[in-house]
Amino acid sequence: MRTIGEARKALDLLMERAVSRQTRRGTLAEKQLVQAMVADSWIQLEQFRLLVLRTAWKIDRLQDYKAVRKDIAAVKAAMPKVLHDIVSRAIQVHGSRGVSDEMPFVEQLVASYVMGIADGPTEVHQVALAKELLAAVKPAEGLFPSAHRPAARERARRALAAAGAATAAAPHTNDAGRSA
Ligand SMILES: Cc1cc2nc3c(=O)[nH]c(=O)nc-3n(C[C@H](O)[C@H](O)[C@H](O)COP(=O)(O)OP(=O)(O)OC[C@H]3O[C@@H](n4cnc5c(N)ncnc54)[C@H](O)[C@@H]3O)c2cc1C
């Protein structure tokens, strides 16, 4: 939640700079590549915010750490990148001032790396999440993946043939449901 606050602060400053800084042809906010930075940052932050919110909701509702372990691992794995990416864009649109100690971004950028280490390395959270996800998945039956089209077509053909054989074997009925 603290990371959301830090990232939101960086995004607010990014947008303020974009609408304030005049170049020879309009503001930075009028440049499409800067607009893309704003859009990507907002999307990344909102996705992360919803993941945090859902995880907090599950913690409250389930009161069972094991049941939310993978959600917590996902939050911890996502967190450093969200902060890193948004702060990096904020630095970029602030130009030289962005990398100076007149702005808070360098500390925020270092904080994004700290987030990937301090509460356990990101890799450990990724592994915890992936292990739990994979443990719930069954291997495909047979040689091919379950969405393999030729195999699926063959299964459908066999099912259709079986249904056709069953229909042919059943007594024929007319529209009124009486045997012909
Ligand atoms: C600001 C700060 C606050 C901290 N607060 C606490 C605290 O409150 N409580 C606490 O117990 N610890 C705390 N720590 C310690 C923190 O948990 C460790 O720094 C962290 O687990 C990494 O361990 P390490 O520094 O020994 O590095 P190493 O174990 O040497 O890891 C170095 C790097 O190797 C990689 N790595 C390590 N393990 C794996 C793995 N299993 N799979 C893949 N890659 C791996 C990662 O990239 C990792 O960053 C804090 C650290 C910092 C920087």
78 CA to middle of ligand 1, Å? 16
Q: Are 51 and 96 in the same domain?
A: yes
CA angle centred on 138, ends 133 and 139, rounded to 5°: 115
Closest alpha carbon to 52 in 22, 7, 21: 7
Quote the CA–CA distance of 73 and 55 in Å, as a whole number.
10
Q: Are 103 and 61 in the same domain?
A: yes
Question: What confidence tens digit (pLDDT) does each residue in 59-97 have?
Answer: 999 999 999 999 999 999 999 999 999 999 999 999 999
Residue 81 in any domain: the answer is yes
Q: Are 73 and 117 in the same domain?
A: yes
Q: In the chain, which ranges are continuous DSSP H helix?
A: 2-20, 32-62, 65-98, 105-115, 122-135, 149-169
Mutate to test the pocket of ligand 1, among 107, 117, 127 (most ligand atoms within 8 A of CB): 117
Q: In this predicted structure, what is the pLDDT of residue 170? A: 86
Residue 178 in any domain: the answer is no
The 3-state DSSP class for residue 27 equals: strand
Question: What confidence tens digit (pLDDT) does each residue in 150-172 have?
Answer: 988 998 999 999 999 988 888 76
Model confidence pTM above 0.75? yes
- Per the structure, the complete domain to which residue 145 belongs is given by 138-169
Quote the CA–CA distance of 1 and 52 in Å, as a whole number.
7
- Percentage of the chain lying above the pLDDT 70 cut: 95
119 CA to middle of ligand 1, Å? 7
Q: Are 77 and 31 in the same domain?
A: yes
Query: What is the total count of domains within the chain?
Result: 2
Residues with CB under 6 A from ligand 1: 114, 117-118, 120-121, 123-124
Q: Which band of pLDDT confidence, cut at 50, 70 and 90, is reported for residue 177?
A: low
Q: Whose CA is nearest to atom 37 of ligand 1?
A: 121
Question: What confidence tens digit (pLDDT) does each residue in 108-135 have?
Answer: 999 999 999 999 999 999 999 999 999 9
Q: Are 65 and 129 in the same domain?
A: yes
pLDDT score of 23 more than 70: yes
Interacting residues of 14 by C-beta distance below 8 A, sequence separation 6+: 37, 38, 41, 86, 89, 90, 93, 94
Mutate to test the pocket of ligand 1, among 2, 79, 119, 122 (most ligand atoms within 8 A of CB): 119
Residue 176 in any domain: the answer is no
